[in-house]
């Protein structure tokens, strides 16, 4: 057993103990009701200190995996019932005009109210912030480059950052010229430019259902129509529904999270992603891939961006550092394939360029090993937080509650009993200083009335746990 503890690992020792118990549970070695070794015994077996093992056991208790019985020791929790996953959605009957602005505005406003427990914001990097590293690098850049660092950047971005990004795509076997990367103001600007490259007012865009509400706002503001393709909470959109959609409607482009979906946390496997690109290319339909959560995977490996499977230049990749490092820097990028010239023109017209000092800082950050080390830790923390949140939901929400089991990212998608109106719940929660995201804003046709999105991407505290408990009570009172 002690061989499993690696002292030179990036993982904390107590987290390795947690992983060990979870793996033994997954393999069926540890079963409900089994007694765990005492703190003293396990610490001796693993050559760890008693407080380290105690920390791991306490954490496993919080995750509802084990229970402490006074004077008896620690036991695997008996018959833990897993939450069911949310119900399978239906393909939209026809393309829909989007009109969700006012509720989205209220959701954004709630995020910035003072003293809020922010279960409504998708800001996963805050669970393990890299502000100190970025501040140090930024100071170095300023002292090295002086006023040059706060000048305008070239329209398509700071060349060393573009090179670093191209190098990262080379990891997946993609030979990308740095000139093909266009740096944008967050992924949101990349998505906006991409949509304007491939479609016009009135055109039909196939999107996921549920979809990130920022995408819905873009489609609404550009006067386009949305066709909603259901997402399986396990592995991304249902391809069979997409094929039906293509056969029935004149789809101008698709916009999907190719890696991890916000809000379900589903993860599209590589072979499915390849099949998606082949399907769309065979119909000459451009695919806008939203890969902002790509680096926050809980699976064994990161998903390969759909761009890597493109043969006709019809994939437009949008991503950013907003979920992994610094949302406030507003640095994202677009790889526009055959639409590159149009995309450059649009970038110039829309915002001229993106912040040079922020690009410069990020270029240096990702060039070293610090970014990757930070990501590894962030993924571990998010995975742990996910387990804590699901355990808390299971304990405190009504029995009929279903929840996605995210394979990455920082949010979970929760289906509440059908009677619950999540918009009403949103207002009730605000009164208790808790922000949540109501389900309707994730749909063009206002589906998901009884769904909410909850974020676990934050430092985990008793305050967060209490907020989830309070939500459970509010839901019970609505029933
Ligand atoms: C799925 C998805 N795409 C795009 C964005 C926008 O990212 P950015 O903050 O980089 O503009 C977000 C932000 O919440 C998101 O969740």
Q: Which residue is listed with tokens 């402490």?
A: 68
Same domain, 38 and 122: no
Same domain, 35 and 170: no
CA of 323 to the centre of ligand 1 (A): 8
Same domain, 343 and 280: yes
Q: Of 61, 76, 91, which residue is a domain's last? A: 76
CA 191 vs CA 83, 215, 260: distances in Å = 34, 8, 16
Same domain, 349 and 378: no
Give me the residues of the chain with pLDDT under 50, please.
1-2, 80
The verdict on residue 92 lying in a domain is no
**Residue-level pLDDT at 32:** 72
Residue range 414-443, pLDDT digits in tens:
999 999 999 999 999 999 999 999 999 999
CA 367 vs CA 145, 313, 361: distances in Å = 18, 27, 10
**Residue-level pLDDT at 414:** 96
Tell me how crowded residue 193 is: count the other CB atoms within 10 A of its CB. Answer: 27
Same domain, 45 and 174: no
Out of 259, 292, 295, 354, mutate this one to test ligand 1's pocket (max ligand atoms within 8 Å of CB): namely 292
Torsions phi, psi for 5 (to 5 deg) = -90, 120
Cβ–Cβ under 8 Å, residues 285 and 199: no
Rg, C-alpha atoms of the chain: 23
Q: Which residues line ligand 1 (CB under 6 A)?
A: 122, 186-188, 212, 214, 257, 262, 290, 292, 320, 322, 327, 332
Same domain, 348 and 383: no
Q: Tell me, what CATH number does 444's domain have? A: 3.90.1150.10
The verdict on residue 180 lying in a domain is yes
Same domain, 234 and 118: no
**Residue-level pLDDT at 1:** 42
Same domain, 311 and 337: yes
Number of domains in the chain: 3
Tell me how crowded residue 42 is: count the other CB atoms within 10 A of its CB. Answer: 22
**Alpha helices, DSSP H, located in 397-460:** 422-431
**Residue-level pLDDT at 190:** 98
Torsions phi, psi for 429 (to 5 deg) = -65, -40
Same domain, 378 and 469: yes
Using the Cα atoms of residue 445, residue 412, residue 366 and residue 362 in order, give the sign of their dihedral: positive
Q: Of 343, 371, 399, which residue is a domain's last? A: 371
**Residue-level pLDDT at 469:** 94
Question: What residues have CB less than 8 Å from 452, skipping those under 6 apart?
Answer: 414, 416, 422, 425, 426, 436, 437, 438, 439
Same domain, 418 and 352: no
Q: Counting atoms of ligand 1 from 1, which one is nearest the CA of 293?
A: 1
Q: Of 371, 396, 431, which residue is a domain's last? A: 371
Range of the domain at 122: 101-127+373-478
User: Hey, what are 173's tokens?
Assistant: 């076997």
Same domain, 61 and 157: no
The verdict on residue 212 lying in a domain is yes
The verdict on residue 81 lying in a domain is no
The verdict on residue 385 lying in a domain is yes
Residue range 55-99, pLDDT digits in tens:
999 999 888 889 888 888 998 886 545 677 787 888 877 888 877
User: Hey, what are 60's tokens?
Assistant: 């496993």
Q: Tell me, what CATH number does 204's domain have? A: 3.40.640.10
Same domain, 111 and 153: no
CA of 308 to the centre of ligand 1 (A): 21
Q: Tell me, what CATH number does 71's domain have? A: 1.10.10.10
Among the listed residues 270, 237, 271, the one whose alpha carbon sits nearest the alpha carbon of residue 254? 237
CA of 264 to the centre of ligand 1 (A): 14
**Residue-level pLDDT at 393:** 92
Q: Which residue is listed with tokens 């959609």?
A: 245
Among the listed residues 438, 442, 412, 445, the one whose alpha carbon sits nearest the alpha carbon of residue 424? 438
The verdict on residue 85 lying in a domain is no
Bond into 277 cis (ω within 30): no
DSSP E strands in 132-257: the ranges are 181-185, 204-209, 225-232, 236-237, 251-257
β-pairing, 287-290 vs 251-257, is: parallel
Residue 267 DSSP class: B
The verdict on residue 86 lying in a domain is no
The verdict on residue 140 lying in a domain is yes
Instruction: Return d(Cα 47, Cα 92) in angstroms, integer.
Output: 57
């Amino acid at each position: 057993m002690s061989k499993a503890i690696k002292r030179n690992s990036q993982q904390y020792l107590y987290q390795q103990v947690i992983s060990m118990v979870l793996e033994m549970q997954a393999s069926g070695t540890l079963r409900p009701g089994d007694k765990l070794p005492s703190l003293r015994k396990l610490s001796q077996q693993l050559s760890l200190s008693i407080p380290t093992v105690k920390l791991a056991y306490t954490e496993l208790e919080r995750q509802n995996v084990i229970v402490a019985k006074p004077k008896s020791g620690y036991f695997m929790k008996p018959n833990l019932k897993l939450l069911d996953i949310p119900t399978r959605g239906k393909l939209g009957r026809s393309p829909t005009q989007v009109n969700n602005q006012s509720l989205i505005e209220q959701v954004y406003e709630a995020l910035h109210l003072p003293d809020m427990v922010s279960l409504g914001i998708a800001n996963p990097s805050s669970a393990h912030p890299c502000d100190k590293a970025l501040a140090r690098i930024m100071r170095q850049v300023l002292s090295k480059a002086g006023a040059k660092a706060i000048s305008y950047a070239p329209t398509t971005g700071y060349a060393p950052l573009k090179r670093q990004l191209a190098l990262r795509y080379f990891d997946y076997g993609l030979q990308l010229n740095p000139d093909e990367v266009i740096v944008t103001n967050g992924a949101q600007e990349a998505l906006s430019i991409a949509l304007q490259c491939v479609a016009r007012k009135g055109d039909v865009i196939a999107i996921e259902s549920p979809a990130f509400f920022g995408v819905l706002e873009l489609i609404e503001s550009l006067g386009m129509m949305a066709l909603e393709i259901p997402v399986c909470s396990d592995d991304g959109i249902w391809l069979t529904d997409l094929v039906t959609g293509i056969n029935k409607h004149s789809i101008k482009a698709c916009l999907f999270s190719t890696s991890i979906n916000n809000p379900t946390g589903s993860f599209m496997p590589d072979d499915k992603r390849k099949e998606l690109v082949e399907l769309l290319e065979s119909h000459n339909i451009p695919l806008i891939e939203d890969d902002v959560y790509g680096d926050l995977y809980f699976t064994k490996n990161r998903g390969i961006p759909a761009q890597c499977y493109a043969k006709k230049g019809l994939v437009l990749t949008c991503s950013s550092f907003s979920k992994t490092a610094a949302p406030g820097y507003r640095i994202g990028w677009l790889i526009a394939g055959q639409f590159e010239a149009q995309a450059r023109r649009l970038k110039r017209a829309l915002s001229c360029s993106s912040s040079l000092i922020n690009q410069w800082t990020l270029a240096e950050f990702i060039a070293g090993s610090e970014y990757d080390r930070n990501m590894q830790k962030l993924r571990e923390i998010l995975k742990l937080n996910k387990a804590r949140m699901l355990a808390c939901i299971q304990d405190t929400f009504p029995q009929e509650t279903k929840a996605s089991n995210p394979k990455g990212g920082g949010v979970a998608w929760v289906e509440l009993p059908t009677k619950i109106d999540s918009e009403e719940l949103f207002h009730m929660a605000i009164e208790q200083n808790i922000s949540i995201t109501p389900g309707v804003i994730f749909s063009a046709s206002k589906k998901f009335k009884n769904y909410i999105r909850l974020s676990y991407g934050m430092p985990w505290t008793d305050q967060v746990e209490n907020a989830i408990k309070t939500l459970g009570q509010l839901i019970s009172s609505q029933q």
